[in-house]
Amino acid sequence: MPRTYDLLHAWTVFTDLEKRGCSAEDLLLEMDRILRPTGFIIVRDKAPIIVFIKKYLNALHWEAVTVVDGESSRESEENEMILIIRKKLWLPEGGSQDST
């Protein structure tokens, strides 16, 4: 059985992606794959990254629970923000929860 998680915490992970040659979209898809329905993601990163992630919330069936301004990073002049996301439990249209 693949490993799944109730909580993912990404502290400047998206900022560090630029150095590793991985796309942010691929990371979002992988996070969605391993996150259990109704699970949470805490993202702490630069404000432009948070805005970027928020564009994908509806497509991934995620909802923003809250956004909080963080403190300035020592390495960067940009303020960090904290985004808390919850993965929705959803069924395709016309789907039924009945197993009969």
Neighbouring residues of 5: CB distance < 8 A, sequence distance ≥ 6: 34, 35, 36, 39
The model carries a pTM of 0.81
Residue-wise pLDDT for 19-45, tens only, equals 788 899 999 999 999 999 999 999 999
Q: pLDDT at position 22, please?
A: 86
Average pLDDT of the residues in 74-81 = 72
Q: pLDDT at position 25, please?
A: 96
Separation CA 29–CA 56 (nearest Å):
10
Average per-residue pLDDT in the chain?
Answer: 87
| Pick from 56, 55, 85, 87: nearest CA to 68 | 85
Domains and CATH numbers, the chain: 5-87 (3.40.50.150)
